[in-house]
Amino acid sequence: MRKQHKIQPKKFKIRTGIILSFLSIICFSFSANAQKKDNLKTELFHLTDKIYDKAIKADAHLLAPEAYAKGVEHYKEAEEDFQDEDDLKEIKEELQKATQHFKRAIDHVDIAEPTFSNVMAARNDAMETMAPSAVSEKWEEAEECFKNAAEELENGDLESAKKEGERAVALYREAELAAIKTTFLNNASALIEKADDMKADKYAPITFNRAKQLYKNAEKEIEANREDTDYARQLAKQSEFEARHAIYLAKNIKEFEDKDYTMENVLLMSEEPLMKISYVLGTDISLDSGYDVIVSDILNKIAENQEKIGNLSYDLYASQQEIFDLEQFITEQKMFYELKLKQKEAIEEEKVQNLKSEVAVIQEKQDLLKNRMERREMIDASYKKVEQIFDNTEAKVFRQGDDIIMRLSGVNFEVGKSYIPEESYALLNKAISAIDEFNNVKIVIEGHTDSKGGDALNQTLSERRAKAVMEYMVNNSGLTKENIHSKGYGETKPLASNETNKGRAQNRRIDIVIKPVFEEMQ
């Protein structure tokens, strides 16, 4: 039987230590060599890298493709030679050639930029619509055409370059348009196709045709006004809705036919949801006169409940503020009596004077807190008066914290205009009377638009409308420009969806914000 040799622990440790030390030396050697190689590459490639980066930033790959491509070719050759540890002279020669081509490309960009400015503009517009991914084939065709144009210019053929450039512009514009249509209309198109498969033209022809017409309108809007796609998007969304609606109707109407439902069955089924809603809201159920009466009752009840919720929200806020003020008052009162007690116990005159000063400060805070609470009561009383000034068609008055907001729904500007129509003067005079109910306030006139039209146009329009209202109020009241200013928000603060006419009407508004001024406690 062969004897097994046991490795002594001490000897094993020594051997392991030697191996690890040897491996460390090898790793250090490799690391040092790698670092040395990196440093050498940085030194060799530094100048060419700078020119290469400059060419990229100048869009030389687009405007001078031949020179740029040759530069890249020599640069890659230099990199391969360096990795293969070829002769430094050959590497330097390749880098020199790459640098020359990159410089030539950069110089040519100065000539190509004015020639192809319209092509670059069309290309950028197409990129913003995600054309490279949305319509990749059209994009590639436009890119190839642009490349041909740039190469023609590099070779000195200006006429051919211009012709190819014009064709590239047309192709980029086609790609842009196709990308917008793909982005906005794909869902609508798929839903219309699904509705068609379900024979919506037979079971729900009115809704189905409405979906198709909205789709066509969206297409026309995109083609006519691709720079402002808000309205086209709204039309596309409406088309989607109507297509889904047609699918729903077709499915249910087919089921009704299969079950031999009569028109009476259908009408009775349609009444059930209204009856449930009416029951929950506590309104009268009187369907003997049709839907109009019960729908009107439901809407009135919802409006009433919304007003109650708004008032309760403010009551909660006011109560929280009052509790805070009272807590502050109690704290200050406690400190006041504690200081009074210390003042009685104080012996040294200096301490007495210091305590008197502290007592005076606390008394001042108490007075301020009392004034704040009294002021809030006065504002509450003024707010209740203002609520009675307007009817529902003129304005809605509500509160946000300490601010009172008069949302004027009766000021109707003409489309795209900022002058105040004469019929709105009476309402603005009412608003001036409402402001007169308050003392020591700041006024902010806010202008808002819907999303129809360009963002910049809407922003400017909202500012001009708010300013027009402000100037009217200054000229027809005791307000001065020191305590009133205007601000436009464009389409950035919608109250409702811009996808419907009703929603857009709500978003077009003038808000008059009354901000009570309270003395600050130091």
Sign of CA dihedral 458, 464, 466, 472: negative
Summarised one tens digit per residue, pLDDT across range 261-271 is 888 888 888 88
pLDDT on residue 415: 81
Summarised one tens digit per residue, pLDDT across range 127-185 is 888 889 889 999 999 999 999 999 999 998 999 999 999 999 999 999 988 888 888 88
Spatial distance between the Cα atoms of 360 and 521, rounded to a whole number of angstroms: 14
Which tokens hold the place of 502? 């009703």
pLDDT on residue 205: 95
- The HSE-up count of residue 107 (CA atoms within 13 Å, CB side) is 8
- The HSE-up count of residue 317 (CA atoms within 13 Å, CB side) is 14
Summarised one tens digit per residue, pLDDT across range 15-60 is 555 555 555 555 555 565 667 777 888 888 899 999 999 999 999 9
71 near 105, Cβ under 8 Å?
yes
CA 350 to chain centre: 62
The answer on pLDDT for 83 being more than 80 is yes
**Beta strands at 403-408 and 395-400: parallel, antiparallel or unpaired:** antiparallel
Share of the chain above pLDDT 90, in %: 32
Spatial distance between the Cα atoms of 245 and 212, rounded to a whole number of angstroms: 12
Query: What is the arrangement of strands in the sheet containing 403-408, beginning at the earlier edge strand?
Result: 395-400, 403-408, 509-516, 441-448, 484-488
pTM of the predicted model as reported, rounded to 2 decimal places: 0.54
Q: Which helix (H) or strand (E) holds 292?
A: helix 291-345
Phi then psi dihedrals of residue 355, to 5 deg? -65, -35
Return all residues near 207 (Cβ < 8 A) that are at least 6 apart.
200, 242, 245, 246, 249
Which tokens hold the place of 139? 């994009």
Q: What is the 3-state secondary structure (H, E, C) of 227-276?
A: CCCHHHHHHHHHHHHHHHHHHHHHHHHHHHHHCCCCHHHHHHHHHHHHHH
pLDDT on residue 33: 64
pLDDT tier, 521 (very low <50, low <70, confident <90, very high otherwise)? very low
Q: In 388-438, which residue ranges form alpha helices assigned H by DSSP?
A: 425-436
Spatial distance between the Cα atoms of 395 and 514, rounded to a whole number of angstroms: 14
